[in-house]
Amino acid sequence: MIDLAGRTAFVTGGANGVGIGIVRNLLNEGCKVAIADIRQDAIDRALASLDNREVMGVQLDVASREGFREAADKVEAEFGPVSLLFNNAGVNLFQTIEDSSYDDWDWLLGVNLHGVINGVMTFAPRMKKRALSGEITGGHITNTASMASFIAQGAPGIYNTAKFAVRGLSYSLRHSMVEYGIGVSVVHPGLVKSYIYASDDIRPDTLKGEMKPVDTAMVERLAGVHEFGMEPDIIGARILDGIRENRANIFTHPDHKDEVEELFSETLADYRDYPQDPGFEQRVGFEKMRRDGFAATRKKTREMK
């Protein structure tokens, strides 16, 4: 089980929603925490609520590779090597794929997918190097996806696409980083008490060219729905529980378990028992080597606690 106390954590989207819940739980565990967020006013409010503990703020657009590097350098210069990374920042656009524009794609993928990629590419090589040299022992990378990484309705189409990709990225990274004693988890929250419904407020001007007018009535309805969302501190505590157990998937909400089971059953039902074609036995022999290796790696990740 990973010991969290004394570690330096970097949390994107850390000023509200799931992020601030993670931050408060980390501070309670004795971590030094960097809150990375695109809104300086939100960072200032978050810092003012945290009793001046070992926490700092850094303004960051997660879609910027250079900005991520600069933020990482600034945090590590003040708090030391980051060994807990939370790629949590996210935005949403509640519309279907066919009704979306390229600007919509560039905005949502820039934050929800490339933001995770930028966090991983900034910190994972540093964590690997420090683990190999003995500078750090263990560590964890946690990527926030969503139940939308399993449940993909028509809307929000681009959001679903990004979250499915974050799940795949996290699974792959988990199987490579285990070699250095570093865990990787992907979080799948359901409805959260947050302001993600108002994402248009922080949409870059450069990506508003093909933007549809904001549906203020829908935003108001979503604001009401999100009032019933899970409290961030509860989610944060459940995420840390998942990290301690090094779970591949951290499901903070029990709300969707039956639905996911139904979806997996429907997926398996799409298989057909076709007759064996030429080359079948050779393919199965090759796949057995891969399958055995994959099973051994999964076992290793489960045992790394």
Backbone CA torsion sign across 36, 87, 142, 292? negative
Query: Is 274 a residue of the active site?
Result: no
Which segments within 65-158 are labelled E, that is strand?
82-87, 140-144
- Tokens of residue 103, six digits: 């600007």
Distance, CA of 296 to chain centre: 25
Distance, CA of 8 to chain centre: 18
The CA distance from 250 to 263, in Å, is 18
The CA distance from 196 to 43, in Å, is 16
The CA distance from 221 to 217, in Å, is 6
Catalytic residue among 159, 180, 271, 274: 159
Are the C-beta atoms of 137 and 181 separated by less than 8 Å? yes
Partners of 9 in beta bridges:
33, 84
CA dihedral 61, 66, 88, 188 (to 10 degrees): 120
CA distances from 99 to 174, 199, 212 (A): 35, 18, 9
CA distances from 103 to 23, 37, 42, 80 (A): 32, 22, 25, 38
- How many residues does this entry show for the chain? 305
Q: How many CA atoms lie within 13 A of 143 on its CB side?
A: 33
- The residues annotated as belonging to the active site are 159
